[in-house]
Amino acid sequence: MTSRCAIIFPKKGGGSMNINRHIIIDCDPGTDDALALYVASLHIRESVLAVLSSYGNSTLTNTHANLLGLGGLLSLECEYLRGAAAPLGKDSFIPTDYHGENGLCGIVLPPPTHIEEHTNGIARAAELLSTAGPITWIALGPLTNLASLLNQHPDAIYNIEEIIIMGGGLAFGNVPSGAEYNFSLDPHAVDAVFACPVQKTLVPLDLTHTLAFSEAEVEQITGAAASELRWETLLPRDVFGEIFFRNLSSAQKNGHDGAIIHDAATLCYLLCPEACTARQKRLTCDALGRIAESENGYPVNVVTTMKKSAMAMLLKE
């Protein structure tokens, strides 16, 4: 397993973990993206340099609005960057309905009034990489933003310390082609990122599907039953509790036993490496976004196990 920076866990009652890294979170909120941002706000808010939106779980219009609303609710003091609206070489895409029409299963958050926003997110990300030193890039959606950065600003790669990716599935996928959803949206971007000479860690479906949270477990983590939450109050506990329960409901409608919050697993790998195991594999990605092991593939660190108790700990206030 790759060596990691030492983690200083917060005292009871919350606080930041010292990870000695700057973080850019590239996401497409998404209920599971929202919970990943919640984890970041609880434990590493001072390390988050920027958050970058992408099309994916919904249109860019929706996901960027969700990102701004979530960031405002969490008081995340970082830069907000608008990213890609469609895959490389395309003008449009067909979003999933897993997270509802707007990406947050119908939860609509008010736009914040105090956020620093950049409409050319790729250019601004390149500037941040050139001035902020080594950065860990956490990719929770399609890899279009990162591939565009590598194409438009190739020198930026030298200031990325590690790329942590939620995507792909070796044993199975979650779209009809057999691929995982994020990778199916832009296979060309996946190939470009796999090929770049930076340490890459993959958190695949094979791992995230072992971390399903039952209704009882969600109640234990949130400290409330679904009927007790009122997200309209805009209290973070209620909003993110409601998001967790709506993720659970969507998962159950799609045949899963519990809430599968794929994206938060990347934060668990970053913050609790002792709770994870990983193996280096050589991976390829085909034109449909399906990944496979191959002698001719690119080296990628693949997370294979993770203690669900560690994830649950990170999700608690």
Burial grade of 286 (CB within 10 A; 0-12, 13-18, 19 or more): middle
Is the four-CA dihedral 303, 308, 313, 317 of positive or negative sign?
A: positive
Q: Do residues 310 and 291 touch, judged by C-beta distance below 8 A?
A: no
Q: Do residues 66 and 83 touch, judged by C-beta distance below 8 A?
A: no
CA distance 195 to 26: 19
Q: Do residues 316 and 220 touch, judged by C-beta distance below 8 A?
A: no
Which of 43, 64, 118, 262 is labelled catalytic?
A: 262
Beta bridge partners of 200: 163
275-283: Cβ within 8 A, 24+ apart: 275/306, 275/307, 275/309, 275/310, 276/1, 276/303, 276/305, 276/306, 276/307, 276/310, 277/1, 277/303, 277/304, 277/305, 278/1, 278/2, 278/201, 278/302, 278/303, 278/304, 279/304, 283/168, 283/194, 283/202
Is 209 a known active-site residue? no
Query: What residues are annotated to the active site?
Result: 262
